[in-house]
Amino acid sequence: MKEWQDGATVGDIVATDFRAAGVFERFGIDFCCGGRSSLADACRKAAADPDEVVRALGALPAVRPDDEVSEWPLDRLIDHIESVHHAYIRAALPRISGFLARLVQAHDGRHPELRLVAASFQRLGADLEQHLLKEEQVLFPYVRDLVAYGDRPGRLVMSPFGTVENPIRMMEREHREAGDELRMIRELTGNFTVPSDGCATYKVCLHELREFERDLHRHVHLENNVLFPQAIALERSLE
C-alpha cells in the first residue's frame, strides 16, 4: 500500500487491480480521465480521506491472473474493449434514449430538467457512435498491426496519421467531452436520485444511466491508462 502513496497514479492502481475501480467510484475519485493524478491528489480533489481509501484498497482479495489487464497483449485488450464496452454502448444507447423520451412525455411538467438530460444524452450518444467507429476503423487496426509487426518483423504498415499519438490525443479529448456530458447528467439528476413521484420507468432509467457512467469509466480507464500508453511505447520501440 505504501507504494500507492509514494507515486503510483490512480490509473496505475486500477491497471494493476481492476477492482480498485469500485473503491475509487465509492469515494468519488476519477480514475479514467483523471487517471494520471497521484492517489494523494485524487483524494484531495474528491475530498476523500486517503487513509480510508488505502484501507479499502488493501481489503481487496488477491488478484487473479485474468484480472491483470495491464499484462494482457494489446490485441487481446482491444478485443475485450470492443466485445464488452463498445457492444455495451451500442446496446444501451437506444434503450436509455427510449426511457428518457417516455419520461419527458410523462414527467416534463413536474421535472423540466428531464429535457436537458435527454438532450445531453442525445449529444453524448451521437458523439460516442462516431468515436467508436474511429477507434474500430482507424486506431485499433493500426495498433493490431503494431502488435503483429512486433511478433513477426517485416514491413511496418505506415499510418495515415503519422505517429499513433495523434489519434490518441483526439480520443482522449473525446473521452473528456463524454465525461463532461455525463457529469452534467449526474448533476441534473441529483446523482441519479429518483424523485418521490418517480415511476418505475424513472427508477429503471436512472439506474441505467448510473450503470452507463460506471461502464464508461472502466472503458475510458482501459484506453487512457493501459492501451494508449502501451501502444505509444510499442510504436516507439519499433521505429
- The values of phi and psi at residue 38, to 5°, are -70, 165
In tens, the pLDDT along 197-226 reads: 988 889 999 999 999 999 999 899 999 999
In tens, the pLDDT along 119-178 reads: 999 999 999 999 999 999 999 999 999 998 876 766 666 778 889 999 999 999 999 999
Quote the DSSP letter at residue 68: -
- Three-state DSSP state, 213: helix
Confidence at residue 223, expressed as pLDDT on a 0 to 100 scale: 96
Cα(142)–Cα(139) distance, integer angstroms: 5
Confidence at residue 66, expressed as pLDDT on a 0 to 100 scale: 47
Cα(123)–Cα(30) distance, integer angstroms: 22
Confidence at residue 18, expressed as pLDDT on a 0 to 100 scale: 67
Cα(131)–Cα(114) distance, integer angstroms: 25
Residues with Cβ within 8 Å of 81's Cβ and at least 6 positions away in sequence, in order, are 219, 222, 223, 227
Q: Return the C-alpha cell found at 41.
A: 491528489
Is residue 77 a contact partner of residue 85, using CB atoms and an 8 Å limit? no
In tens, the pLDDT along 31-89 reads: 777 668 888 888 888 888 988 988 888 877 665 544 567 788 999 999 999 999 999 99
Confidence at residue 37, expressed as pLDDT on a 0 to 100 scale: 85
Confidence at residue 155, expressed as pLDDT on a 0 to 100 scale: 63
Cα(135)–Cα(181) distance, integer angstroms: 20
**DSSP structure string for 96-114:** HHHHHHHHHHHHTTT-THH
Burial class (CB in 10 A: 0-12, 13-18, 19+), 175: buried
pTM: 0.77
Confidence at residue 2, expressed as pLDDT on a 0 to 100 scale: 43
